Amino acid sequence: MSIGDLAKAVQQLFGDTGTNIIGTRHGEKLFETLMTREERLRSEDMGHYFRVAADNRDLNYDKFVVKGEVHTMADESYTSHNTTRLDVEGTVKKIMTTEYVQNALKEDK
């Protein structure tokens, strides 16, 4: 989900307090790297998540010298920008799976 969708979902559940969009700040990242290209090569898609195998290579890099063309990168990193994100409705459903939110909403009634 984006931070904007998270804000809308929380306001939908607990009341609209308004939103003030300030824009991107200097040095602020626009997305998070969830898995690098190298990690994607060692990963297994488990359906709802990826399992990334540990990098257990020996630090003696002479053993890894290969002559010729070697492909060592996936097409791109897996980031919060190029994955499926929850929308506001999906975010509300996810938030509602937590017991403390369910209890807080019961207390407010």
- Tokens encoding 26: 């200097």
The pLDDT of residue 67? 66
The pLDDT of residue 70? 60
The pLDDT of residue 68? 63
The pLDDT tens digits of the residues spanning 56-106 come to 777 776 766 666 666 555 677 878 888 888 899 999 999 999 999 999 888
To which residue do tokens 């607990």 refer? 14
Whether pLDDT at 28 is above 90: no
For the entire predicted model, the pTM comes to 0.56
The pLDDT of residue 89? 94
Residue ranges per domain, the chain? 3-19+37-108
What string of H, E and C letters represents the secondary structure of the chain?
CCHHHHHHHHHHHHCCCCCCCCCCCCCCCCCCEEECHHHHHCEEECCCCEEECCCCCCCCHHHHCCCCCCCCCCCCCEECCCCCCCCHHHHHHHHCCCHHHHHHHHHHC
